[in-house]
Chains A and B, each alone.
Chain A
Amino acid sequence: MTVQTVPSKHAEPPEVVRRRKLGKPLSNGTFGFLLTLPAVVMFGAIVLYPLAGSLSTSLFKQSLVIPGRSFAGLDNFKHVLENEFWPVLENTLVFTGLGTIAPFVIGFALALALNTQMKGRAVLRGMFLFPWVIPGVVVSFAWLWIFNANYGLLNGLLVRLGLIDAPVSWLGEPGTAMMAVIVAKTWASFPWIMVMLLAGLQTVPSVLHEAAAMDGAGTIRRFWHVTLPHLRGIIGVVILLELIWNFQHFDTIYVLTGGGPAGATTTFAVAVYETAFKGFDLGQAGALGALWMLLLSVLVVFYVRMAER
């Protein structure tokens, strides 16, 4: 191979590449593209083809266990829109909304509190990550046990404090099950938000705070006029990513309640899984999934717009 210059960040214009004669050994660009082939093939096989395939099942009457399918037009959409779609949407919105706001408030408060010259701050930050790094099913096991109706810690504490007379079945009542699921998810989510916001806080120049303080601005005014404007970008990213993830979240809900009681915690992720793998109805699962994907893409578009800015 002759000496070639490796394209640096300031790439040679594409025309130069295109003018190379055919029959030569692989040009640099072609070789570069070939390097991505394993990844591209895997994405095609594991993400893109399944995405297209699953969306297309929404137009067919198709079972998981019986081979073959027949075209059904929009019947599946009609059926899910007249049945589970609306309650599932409501559950998903409640879970996504509260499951984003609660950990955001906690994570932000903790980030502000840890953004000082406190002794052992790095160690504390690392320890606070524990709920976020452990497997999702372990999060569910821990809270399943805490919310347990007969021997659970929560009932024990509340009875001792005299706040309730008899143990409550937190996960067994539609009214409390969703709150319980959101508490568990909040516990697992806030550490990541804390780390992100703490990283952002550390980029706020201390000169700004000092100048504002000299002008007589108190803690709260400095927070509103110095800290918040500086963090606007990172807050937007954190909230949007949390919304996107919660909108798809499966593990915590499925292990804690399985979507129950009486469907009170059935979100899109749980509903699509149950319809496909417990009900074996791929057509309806596909229709529900297509609507899910459509709503999700609104959030993703917002995110991409923000990332580009």
Chain B
Amino acid sequence: MMKRLTVAVIGIFAFGPVYWLLVTAFTPDEDVFQFPPKLWPTRFTLEHFANLADNPALMNYLVNSIIVSTLTALLTVLVSSYTAYSFSKFRYRGRKSLMYLILASQMFPQGLLLITLYLVFSAAGMLNSYLALVLSFTTFTLPLCVWMLKGFFDTIPDELIEAAKVDGAGQGSIIHRILLPVALPGLIATGLFAFIRGWNDFIFALTLAGPDKQTLPPGLVNTYLGEFQAAWPDLMAASLAVSLPVVIGFAVLQRYLVAGLTSGAVKG
């Protein structure tokens, strides 16, 4: 009984805002802008979603988000699989230190790093480029992804690799023909996770990219929050649209999620 009550009360706190987001996004303006607000919607509209599609600036942010997140996912999978293979199947001096360095790097405040990153990218003529964003996102996604993939590679028996060597396989074909196919589910999870991190990021895209290369999170802030009277229903519709890929991605990731979360390497 107590348990059901607890779930109900926390459920209201958790899903109340989600409900309100949905209601506002599908309600006509006249009904939204009144006080006190109607708790139950009486009329339904899709005009706010149509407004999003009609806004070329938003479509540009969307394209940027897709490009940057996809490139981040690909680069992350590539770099983290080599690194994870090394951590899992090789022993050399400094390996432990490297592992801890990579894990610890997410403890450094990003706002502080951005001061110098901005100057460096500016000097290199890379401000306002996809590359600056992709490199930054990938670096901060690596810790979790390396840890996640290392877990996968650890489960691949060394005998499999030894047998391949006996058959004359070089390191290249061991990685690309044996390890990566076996770890495919892990690679997909890693890529999806990196995609979401790139998709959700705010501060790097805000600082390192100008309006034409900005992704959706800073793009939405610039579009809607500068105005005196924000177009709230449009913003709620946009919020739902931006959240959708992430929610789908996490539904797919659920299986790996708890293990990844409990490894303590995810930054919340």
Contacts and interface: CB of A to CB of B under 8 A. Distances in A.
Contacts of B220: 137, 141
Given A6-B89, A255-B221, A156 B119 contact: no
B177 interface: no
A102 to B, nearest CB: 11
B203 A195 contact: no
A241 B264 contact: yes
Range of interface residues on B (Cβ < 8 Å): 35 or more
B91 interface: yes
Given A29-B90, A187-B13, A50 B115 contact: yes
A66 interface: no
Contacts of B4: 113
B10 A17 contact: no
Contact of B112 (A51, A127, A244, A304): A51
B6 A113 contact: yes
Given A1-B165, A142-B239, A245-B267, A8 B158 contact: yes
Contacts of B39: 156
Contact of B91 (A32, A110, A132, A277): A32
A51 to B, nearest CB: 6
Interface in B107-126: 107-120
B262 A43 contact: no
Contacts of A35: 82-83, 85-86, 90
B93 interface: yes
A116 B1 CA distance: 12
Contacts of A87: none
Give the most central of A55, A109, A145, A241: most B CB within 10 Å: A145
B17 interface: yes
A39 B262 contact: no
A180 interface: no
B199 A135 contact: yes
Interface string B197-225: 00110110001000000001110110011
A17 B266 CA distance: 35
A170 B232 CA distance: 17
B79 A199 contact: no
Query: 8 closest pairs, A vs B, by CB?
Result: A32-B90, A53-B116, A29-B92, A11-B91, A156-B36, A35-B86, A50-B116, A289-B112
Interface in B212-268: 216-218, 220-221, 224-225, 232, 235-236, 239, 242-243, 246-247, 250-251, 254, 257-258, 261-262, 264, 266-268
B262 A54 contact: no
B40 interface: no
B3 interface: yes
A132 B112 contact: no
A26 to B, nearest CB: 9
Given A6-B165, A40-B98, A46-B113, 14 more contacts: A43-B105, A49-B120, A50-B112, A141-B236, A146-B20, A190-B14, A195-B258, A199-B258, A244-B107, A248-B110, A250-B203, A268-B109, A282-B115, A304-B104
A256 B24 CA distance: 18
Contact of A31 (B18, B90, B162, B224): B90
B82 A36 contact: yes
A50 B120 contact: yes
A157 B35 CA distance: 10
A167 B135 contact: no
Interface stretch (A73-81, A147-155, A204-212): A147-155
Contact of B109 (A113, A242, A272): A272
Contact of A151 (B34, B92, B93): B34
Nearest to B105: A47
Contact of B86 (A32, A49, A286): A32
A297 to B, nearest CB: 8
5 contacts: A1-B165, A49-B116, A53-B116, A110-B10, A303-B107
Nearest to B107: A300
Give the most central of B102, B115, B158: most A CB within 10 Å: B115
Given A49-B116, A156-B37, A160-B36, A17 B92 contact: yes
Given A272-B112, A293-B109, A7 B37 contact: no
B220 to A, nearest CB: 6
A90 interface: no
B63 interface: no
Nearest to B92: A29
B44 interface: no
Given A8-B158, A47-B105, A130-B14, A32 B246 contact: no
Contacts of B142: 39, 42-43
A83 interface: no
A251 B202 contact: yes
A138 interface: yes
Contact of A245 (B34, B158, B250, B268): B268
A179 interface: no
Interface string B123-147: 0000000000001101110100010
